[in-house]
Amino acid sequence: FGFDFSNIKVQVIHYPSTDGTMIPSLLYIPENAKKDGNNPAIVSYHGGPPEQSRPYFQRNIAFALSRGIILMLPNVRGSTGYGPEWERADNGEGRFQALEDAMSALNYLVNEKWSSSDRIAIWGGSYGGYTVNYIATKYPEKFACAISDVGVADVDYTNTHGDITFQKGWEIEYGPIGSELTHKLSPIFYSMDLKKPMLITTGSVDPRVVASDPRRFSWVLNKLGKDILYYEEVKAGHGSFTKSQIIDEYTRLYTFMMDHISK
């Protein structure tokens, strides 16, 4: 692959959320990185939400480290691997605190002087894309750019237009369709507050997060004059799967990202 694998080291750290709960996370630090607040960094949020970021080899992580980029992969409340109570802690109203957990990862990088807000990119796919959408519109001062891949922007819209087999699970996670809770949890209604550049991507035949949800979100942001880039892969579903799609995707994402966090 052209990378020196011996230099890839991962730490398991814990950082405080806004309520004092310690959140587990993976942290990859490039060799020779200094705590001077000047390192480019990526906070990458996993999908699910009942999934987990684990320390297995990923080519995109190797590439980022080779470019001196720090990577942080939080396992916020709702992640698997920490017991049923942790996994269920983000259901319903608990979603707000789980999103605070995700935002607090940005505070950790700044407080520990690994990076600064103008050098941090937030990135996620699926539920991670939803997390990015929420943080991008609610905490726009915390990061330099955002990348949302196949992420929900309007909870009710996706739940009523997507595959019906997911509907009950969505309501357990986010609340009943048409409720005040799902409205408050939908980033599209905070579109006016986006202040930083954002890349939004989707797949035309996505059965989970219907393409029209990210498409609508992008249209609204564009009408508001926000700095966005929208890309739709017409032959993809819930993420890229073919080799050519994956190469194309990472080329696009890293080109966009490094334009904003590399100096």
Report the domain count for the chain.
1
Query: What are the tens digits of pLDDT across the range 61-89?
Result: 888 898 899 999 999 999 999 999 999 99
For the entire predicted model, the pTM comes to 0.92
pLDDT score recorded for residue 144: 98
Mean pLDDT, residues 209-216 taken together = 89
Q: What span, in angstroms and rounded, lies between the C-alpha atoms of 175 and 178?
A: 9
Mean pLDDT, residues 140-157 taken together = 95
Q: What span, in angstroms and rounded, lies between the C-alpha atoms of 197 and 146?
A: 7
- Which CATH number belongs to the domain containing residue 72 in this structure? 3.40.50.1820
Structural domain for 221, as ranges = 5-261
Tell me if residue 231 falls in helix, strand or coil.
strand
Asked whether the predicted pLDDT for residue 241 surpasses 90, the reply is no
| C-alpha distance from residue 79 to each of 6, 49, 169, 212 (Å) | 29, 6, 15, 27
Mean pLDDT, residues 169-192 taken together = 92
In the chain, the largest separation of any two C-alpha atoms, in whole Å, equals: 51
* Full DSSP string of 18-49: TTS-EEEEEEE--TT--SSS---EEEEE-SSS
Tell me if residue 133 falls in helix, strand or coil.
helix
Predicted confidence band of residue 174 (pLDDT cuts 50, 70, 90): confident
